[in-house]
Structure 1
Amino acid sequence: MVQQWWRNLSPAVGAYVMATGIISVGLHLTGNDVLSKIFLALAAIVWLVLAADFGYGLLFDRSRWRAEAVTPPALTAVAATTVLGTRLALLGWHAVAVLLLIVAVAAWPVLLITVIRHWHRRMPGAAFLVCVATQGLSVLTATLALEDVADGLMPAALMLFLLGLILYVAALVHFDFTQIWRGEGDQWVFTGALAISALAASKLVAWHRWTGADHTALRGTALVLLTANLLIYVVLLTAELVRFRPGYNVRRWATVFPLGMTAVAAMSTGAATGIHALHTTGKLLLIVAVAVWALVIAELIATRVIAADG
């Protein structure tokens, strides 16, 4: 019975941790610390379950582990770990955040290379997880540097940021653009990858050692990325309204994550660039993200109730 439960756990569930964790960050940035900690606890519990599942598959069920490792959702293991680590770093739990960074860095190259080797021509939005996972490392590394844990980590954060942009372009080449209209939720990673890239850029902008032309270039890059993020956000939202797709799907957590990440990216970019309107925009978008998170939870519960009655 326990073994069957492990086998039924999809790697795509990692997007739940990503979505819940980034909303926790957003709530922290808006001063809602009690609610933020509740979301953090929810994210941490599921992360622990997924970490146990990952380890179980690696040690005792290698065939299943290999089959899942070639799929883009496998990279949620890295992305979820970095999002959780970022929130814990902001909470002051620096030692745990560093440990999570080490875990994510260890898993990242293995999963990244495995996933890219199995890319095909027309990929769903999950293809952009190669960028999200890499930028997640950049965000966590930069956050620890800004928290004065290790100032020397910032150059590494910059290199990861640049690599993440390259991987975004690579994923874009393979992306099936019809997914915008018929995707089941993960098409939103198309813009979520830009959002986390903008967040990483804003963290770089905030570092005191970037001055002059370097600071100007990073500031401009952050604003360009956020602008592109918001434009694609509108396109995807329009597609959702035109072709309404109700009902629970595990991929819907890959919708909630970009909604929350866009909100956090807007607030962080606003703080780093001094554009206060972006912070206001981020606060409004966070309300949307929380509402959609609650909707997906409600649909999940409804699905389970119907399944139990059946």
Structure 2
Amino acid sequence: MRVLVGARWWAELSPAAGAAVMAAGIISAGLHLIGRDALSIAALVVSAALWLVLAADFTARILGDRRRFRAEADTPAALTAVAATAVLGSRIAVAGWTGSTPVAVGLLVLAAALWPGLLVAVLRHWGYRMPGAAFLVCVATQGLAVLAGTLAAPTGRDWLGRAALAAFCLGLLLYAEALVRFDFRQVVSGAGDHWVAGGALSITALAGSGLTASPLWTGWAHAGLRTVTLAALGLSLAWYAVLLAAEAVRPRPRYDTRRWSSVFPLGMTATACLSAAAPTGVAWLRPLGTVLLWVAVGAWVLTCAAFLVERGQARPPK
């Protein structure tokens, strides 16, 4: 019976579950930035383990259930495969361990290979009044920008920095397009992925902070990147306030897989503040980011607990 339950749980995984990898990965990155290395490594282990589970499931669907794979590949949530791989790769890239850079490069290659096919499939099926998952077109693209920019210096490949800038610019355009198509009623009725509306701007700011810190860009280019980074971060903080107020006005305590898409923006906003403080010269972003990071950690713990309770309730009697 337990084997059957496990198999059923495996079969019920949705593409949106990739946000759990993203949430743990970005919280690990934030904890690394504030010097909480033990907790950071623990979160990284969780992120990597979840990524392996979802990668195995992704592969199994390609090989064994092509009809379901094609149906899910048309949905924005499918892009969590790219975003999760990029977020995990970005955290590994800054780990400083022997072999971490080649592993991160491998994850960049994988994410870049998945990105165009999934992006085109999603864009071909876009409509209007879409949920917050629509912003994953931006998140996945900016995830590539973050990872490519992070790897430019340790690999000595300047073209990665230029590729990061190209992805950054495309991500901005995709955000604007997703915003036009977003159903703003989701702010008060969404099941969790409505938070990606703000999280997409946060990862844009994170990518921008990396580009601003890069020696490749000087003069007006550096000034422009700094301005766009701060604007994206300011807007993401505004979204944070609006979405938090909406949660207070209309609480949605029931567990949903899409709640991991709430935790990820919380962690991403915090990490973006921490990362942007030095290259933009706005020192108060660091203490703000530290506070927001612990909020994200708390949200991760609560969501994990809700998941465990939900799985316990779903388990049939012996």
SS at 1:303 equivalent: helix
CA distance in 2 between partners of 1:143 and 1:298 (Å): 33
Is residue 147 of structure 2 the alignment partner of residue 140 of structure 1?
yes
Match of 1:98 in 2: 105
Match of 2:90 in 1: 86
Of 292, 306, 309, the residue aligned with 2:313 is 306
Of 286, 291, 295, the residue aligned with 2:293 is 286
Shift of 1:304: 1.8
Shift of 1:3: 6.1
Unaligned runs of 5+ in 1: none
Of 132, 154, 158, the residue aligned with 1:151 is 158
The letter for the 2-side match of 1:25 is A
Is residue 269 of structure 2 the alignment partner of residue 262 of structure 1?
yes
CA distance in 1 between partners of 2:73 and 2:216 (Å): 38
Match of 2:11 in 1: 7
Match of 1:67 in 2: 71
Contact 1:26 1:260 in 2 (8 A): yes
Is residue 54 of structure 2 the alignment partner of residue 47 of structure 1?
no
TM-score calculated relative to the size of structure 2: 0.95
CA distance in 2 between partners of 1:149 and 1:247 (Å): 47
The letter for the 1-side match of 2:160 is L
Shift of 1:7: 2.5
Match of 2:204 in 1: 197
Q: Deviations over 1:70-95 (max 9, x none)?
A: 11110000000000000000013000
Match of 1:21 in 2: 25
Unaligned runs of 5+ in 2: none
Is residue 40 of structure 2 the alignment partner of residue 36 of structure 1?
yes
Contact 1:94 1:149 in 2 (8 A): no
Q: Deviations over 1:147-195 (max 9, x none)?
A: 3452331010000000000000111111000000100100000000000
Aligned pairs (5 A) from 1:110-149? 110-149=117-156
Aligned pairs (5 A) from 1:211-250? 211-250=218-257
Contact 2:161 2:216 in 1 (8 A): no
Match of 1:168 in 2: 175
SS at 1:176 equivalent: coil
CA distance in 1 between partners of 2:281 and 2:38 (Å): 27
SS at 1:91 equivalent: coil
Q: Deviations over 1:117-156 (max 9, x none)?
A: 1111110000000000000000000000133452331010
The letter for the 1-side match of 2:72 is E
TM-score calculated relative to the size of structure 1: 0.97
Q: Which moved more, 1:188-197 or 1:57-66?
A: 57-66
Count of aligned pairs between the two proteins: 310
Q: Which moved more, 1:300-309 or 1:165-174?
A: 300-309
CA distance in 2 between partners of 1:34 and 1:192 (Å): 25
The letter for the 2-side match of 1:217 is G
Contact 1:201 1:218 in 2 (8 A): yes
The letter for the 1-side match of 2:171 is G
CA distance in 2 between partners of 1:182 and 1:149 (Å): 47
SS at 1:73 equivalent: helix
CA distance in 1 between partners of 2:190 and 2:309 (Å): 22
CA distance in 1 between partners of 2:197 and 2:153 (Å): 28
